[in-house]
Amino acid sequence: MTQKLLFVCLGNICRSPSAEGIMNHLLQQEQLTHAFQCDSAGTSSYHIGAAPDRRMAAAGLRQGIVLTGNSRQVQLDDFASFDWILAMDRHNYTDLLALNPDSQNASKIHMMCNFCTTHTDKEVPDPYYGGPSGFDYVIDLLLDACSGLLEHIQQQ
Catalytic residues: 9, 15, 126
Write the secondary structure of the chain as one string of H (helix), E (strand) and C (coil): CCEEEEEEECCCCCHHHHHHHHHHHHHHHCCCHHHEEEEEEECCCCCCCCCCCHHHHHHHHHCCCCCCCCCCECCCCHHHHCCEEEECCHHHHHHHHHHCCCHHHHHHEEEHHHHCCCCCCCCCCCCCCCCHHHHHHHHHHHHHHHHHHHHHHHHC
